[in-house]
Structure 1
Amino acid sequence: MAGGNTIVFNSAAFSIVRESAMKTKFLHHDWWCYQVLMGAGGKVYYDPKPQIDYRQHQNNVFGKNTGHAAILKRISGLLSGQYSQWIDNNLLALEACHSLLTADNLSIVRGLQEARRRGGISCAIFLWKNGIKRQTCVANIGLYVSVLLPRK
């Protein structure tokens, strides 16, 4: 949703992120901030007009989301089970921060954990019914393909 170098927090949001960092570990700080703040009932204001250029460096985990190499890297992560592992880790981290989440969002986290245990079409139905999605059509297709593939 947002690159870490472009996120601005108010004091309440910063307090939630700081407390969550004391309760768990997370791999992608920008994605974690979005998840925990939305889970806590926060609001995101998204400016569709870029205010800075995307900053690339050798150690980027993902890198810019364009080009054939980026697409192949994401497909590889999907098929290898790497993305599935990241989802599991994020759900465990959200569970560790349960006291920061709204009751409704905690219920969704726990429901998604159970749906992922059942897997397949059951998980896809859970995603659909709960409006869980990614930012683009292609990413949404990848999300649904990932839950329909056998887990590694």
Structure 2
Amino acid sequence: MVILVMLASCDGEKYLSQQVNSIFKQKNVAVNLVFSDDSESKDSIDFLRNVSVELGVDSKKIKIIKGPRQGANANFAHLISSVDISNSVYFAFSDQDDVWQQDKLCVAKEKLATVYDIAKPSIYMGRTMVCDMDLNPLFLSKGKPRPASFRNALLESIAGGNTMVFNQTTLALLKKAGMPVHHDWLSYMVVTACGGTVIFDDEPYVLYRQHDANVIGANNGFIQKWYRLKKLLSNDFRSWVEDNIEALKPLVNDMTADSRLTYEGFVQLHDMRGWYRCLSRLFLFKKLGLYRQRRFEHWGFALAAFLGKI
């Protein structure tokens, strides 16, 4: 059983060798790897090829494609559209600067194998161990205190793409969807909207390397909370919502009846403008049953709905 790992890279020479090494040292699974490289110079492509040679990886197990050079999200979208569904049973996203525990993919495969209806989307995801640049552990990423659902997915992603492994049906739906704001967020929305199964693992199998380029995304404290509040009260989050609505539009007929009604109500909430409709927005937010994983954040988003920021 082959798992295809989709890695979006861009000038990743500093840490990429460690990541690729950890991918090909996975236990009890066959792994193929496809890079979408966004680097400007040809030297980066040569580096990727040299890494595989240095690690003794069969060249047939690695494919390198040129990325669109439109940012990380477009790079992952390019990977999604480029890979062949029929070549693998399961698929995984990978960042370029993490390190995977040796049983990451095996655990994901075993948990996904318990989902018997392969015609429905299923996805495995979980927590990460956030580390410093030298991979010294700092803290665990947040857990999931409330259930995974489409009503939650419309407001947030509950795990990083670097933890996600999913089946062919999920990939087919991702290919059908529009351009995402974030590939991991879209994956969570797609699976929950279309009646699929989300498996969340509290045990971390990814060492998430925190450095200057990703410190906001990994930080679990005040910096991240302030960053999120700033995004929410500006129009950034509202813009993301608009993009997500468009990305989900091609999947309306694939959604469950309940998800379709929730999606339509969410579109209505987004389109409800004007200060005089603030109470109507708040009422609709509550009626739809939208929620965040953490209560404090949930009330912040209720306020955002009241202010027309969703």
TM-score range, shorter chain: 0.7 to 0.9
Give the deviation of 1:59 after TM superposition. Answer: 4.3
Q: How does 1:51-130 map to 2 (within 5 A)?
A: 51-60=205-214, 63-118=217-272, 120-130=278-288
Q: How does 1:3-18 map to 2 (within 5 A)?
A: 3-18=160-175
Query: Which amino acid letter does the alignment assign opposite residue 52 of structure 1?
Result: V
Give the deviation of 1:96 after TM superposition. Answer: 3.1
Query: Which amino acid letter does the alignment assign opposite residue 114 of structure 1?
Result: Q
Give the deviation of 1:117 after TM superposition. Answer: 2.5
Give the equivalent residue in structure 1 for 2:297. 139
Give the deviation of 1:4 after TM superposition. Answer: 0.4
Distance 2:269 2:162 in 1: 33
Gaps of 5+ in 1: none
Q: Quote the RMSD (CA, aligned, Å).
A: 2.3
Give the equivalent residue in structure 1 for 2:110. none
Q: Which has more strand, going by share of residues?
A: 2
Give the deviation of 1:142 after TM superposition. Answer: 2.0
Offset from partner CA, 1:114-137 (integer Å, 9 cap, x none): 123335232222232232111112
Give the deviation of 1:150 after TM superposition. Answer: 4.3
Gaps of 5+ in 2: 1-157
Offset from partner CA, 1:79-103 (integer Å, 9 cap, x none): 2111111112211221233233223
3-state SS in 2 of match to 1:50: coil
CA contact (8 A) 1:56 1:64 kept: yes
Q: Whose radius of gyration is greater, 1 or 2? A: 2
Work out the number of aligned pairs and report it. Answer: 149
TM-score, structure 2 as length reference: 0.44
3-state SS in 2 of match to 1:140: helix
Aligned residues: percent identity? Answer: 32
Query: Which amino acid letter does the alignment assign opposite residue 15 of structure 1?
Result: A
Distance 1:137 1:65 in 2: 19
Compared CA separation, residues 138 and 8, structure 1 to 2 (3 A): same
Give the equivalent residue in structure 2 for 1:26. 180
Compared CA separation, residues 43 and 109, structure 1 to 2 (3 A): same
Distance 2:264 2:308 in 1: 21
Structure 1 segments of 4 or more deviating over 6 A? none
Distance 1:65 1:98 in 2: 35
CA contact (8 A) 2:281 2:308 kept: no
Compared CA separation, residues 62 and 88, structure 1 to 2 (3 A): farther
Distance 1:12 1:37 in 2: 9
Q: Which has more helix, going by share of residues?
A: 1
